């Protein structure tokens, strides 16, 4: 079993009684840094991250999965981390998304709905010489290169 699979199993073991929590990403960088990103349907607290960190850290040491010093980070994804899971999209319905499409174009809009195949946003459409208006737009997930929660200062 690979180290990443073992770490995933350890996390799942620790959060199995918390169906609201889920794994966003696990990264092992240069075999000396483990980064675990967790989230929850209603967000995730520092206590949950600390509990997972202690559990995973204990077992990594106990099972001697790294032969030298390593760094373990457990946290929640910030605004700079792209949304990749449908579950993340569900918790961000109503929020502004910044979307990069596979053709290089960019768009943004408030997320109305999402499923495995597509997302629906309320996009601001600007026509030359006219006032901008809101329009619903359906975007196929295969056309999306990256999605992030946008920051609005309104």
Indicate if the pLDDT at residue 154 is higher than 70. Answer: no
Q: Quick one: 10 and 71 in the same domain?
A: yes
C-alpha 134, offset from chain centre:
27
Are the C-beta atoms of residues 81 and 73 closer than 8 Å to each other? no
Mean pLDDT score of the chain, rounded to an integer?
92
pLDDT grade, residue 79 (50/70/90)? confident
* Parent domain of 125: 86-149
Report the sign of the C-alpha dihedral through residues 45, 50, 55, 57, in that order: positive
Q: Quick one: 67 and 11 in the same domain?
A: yes
Which residues neighbour 16 within 8 Å (Cβ) at sequence distance 6 or greater?
Answer: none
Q: Quick one: 58 and 98 in the same domain?
A: no
Task: Determine, yes or no, domain membership for 80.
Answer: no
- Token duo for residue 49: 């991250």
pLDDT (tens digit per residue) in 1-18: 789 999 999 999 999 999
Give the residue-averaged pLDDT of 48-54.
97
Which pLDDT value is given to residue 65? 85
Indicate if the pLDDT at residue 148 is higher than 90. Answer: yes
Indicate if the pLDDT at residue 128 is higher than 90. Answer: no
Which H helix or E strand runs over 34? Answer: strand 33-40
- The domain that holds 21 is classified in CATH as 3.30.300.70
Which residues neighbour 54 within 8 Å (Cβ) at sequence distance 6 or greater?
Answer: none
For the chain, how many structural domains are there in total?
A: 2
Are the C-beta atoms of residues 125 and 133 closer than 8 Å to each other? yes
- The domain that holds 107 is classified in CATH as 2.30.30.100
Which pLDDT value is given to residue 132? 80
């Amino acid at each position: 079993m690979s180290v990443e699979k073992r770490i995933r199993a350890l996390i799942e073991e620790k959060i199995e009684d918390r169906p609201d929590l889920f794994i966003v990403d696990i990264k092992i960088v240069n075999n000396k840094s483990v980064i675990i990103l967790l989230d929850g349907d209603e967000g995730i607290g520092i206590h949950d991250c600390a509990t997972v960190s202690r559990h995973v850290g204990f077992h990594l040491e106990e099972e001697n999965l790294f032969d030298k010093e390593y760094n373990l980070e457990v946290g929640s994804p910030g605004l700079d981390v792209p949304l990749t899971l449908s579950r993340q999209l569900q918790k961000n319905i109503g929020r502004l998304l910044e979307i990069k499409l596979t053709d290089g174009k960019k768009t943004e809009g408030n997320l109305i709905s999402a499923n495995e195949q597509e997302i629906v946003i309320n996009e601001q459409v600007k026509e030359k010489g006219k006032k901008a208006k809101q329009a619903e737009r359906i975007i196929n997930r295969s056309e999306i290169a990256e999605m992030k929660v946008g920051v609005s200062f309104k």
